[in-house]
Structure 1
Amino acid sequence: MTFTLRNGVFVAETDDGVALLDEDSGQYYDLNSTGVLILRSLLNDGTPDHAIRELTEQYEVDADTARHDVADLIRELCSTGLVVREVPAEPTPRHRWAIRKGTS
């Protein structure tokens, strides 16, 4: 699973974190330093587990709280359309056999 910013979403550094600017709607969304850590982790590594691990290493927070915070932010980022979650397609199976249509 990978996460990317949707086309038309831009990141601007602020004194307290970042602002995500949605060019299409004209709205912006502020993320504090914790949100920035989660977002950058998701964009760089793509896995919620990595974001949870980074959160517990950087802040005094237990894994369950971190898991809840990461899930909430992912849900919010995806529901607002700021971030796109891409699930890799299943690989096409390779068979050593083929089905051919014929007439009898």
Structure 2
Amino acid sequence: MSPRLHPDLTTADTEYGTVLLDQRDGRYWQLNPSAALIMRILTEGGDRDRAADTLLDAFDVDRDRALRDVDAVLAELTAAGLVVS
């Protein structure tokens, strides 16, 4: 099952990435463009490989780095309670 954003989150895209507002506690989270892209791919049903491939197309990174970034973003969003499985 793909991760999804917690239902109490509100998102807004900005020129610097995406801002998440956690309505449970009023905390804001700023995702840079690469993290925002990863979040969008994963929460729209894409898998780890698709997210990494999209990073490869959008940014100057190698595949190993892209996979590590996908794993790190997902782990941080999950640990913060912003995404659920």
Is residue 35 from structure 1 mapped to residue 43 from structure 2 by the alignment? no
CA-atom RMSD in angstroms:
1.0
Cα deviation, 1:17-56, whole Å, max 9, x if unaligned, reads 1111100011010011111111111111331111011001
- Using the alignment, how far apart are the partners of 2:9 and 2:47 within structure 1? 20
Structure 1 runs (4+) deviating above 3 angstroms are none
Aligned-pair CA distance for 1:58: 1.1
Aligned residues: 85
Cα deviation, 1:69-88, whole Å, max 9, x if unaligned, reads 11000000000010112xxx
Structure 1: segments with no counterpart, 5+ residues: 86-104
* Structure 2 residue aligned with 1:65: 65
Decide which structure has the larger Cα Rg and report it: 1
Q: What SS does structure 2 have at the residue aligned with 1:56? A: helix
Structure 2: segments with no counterpart, 5+ residues: none
What's the TM-score once normalised by structure 2's chain length?
Answer: 0.93
Identity of aligned residues (%): 38
* Structure 1 residue aligned with 2:79: 79
More helix as a share of residues: 2
What's the TM-score once normalised by structure 1's chain length?
Answer: 0.77
- Using the alignment, how far apart are the partners of 1:5 and 1:45 within structure 2? 12
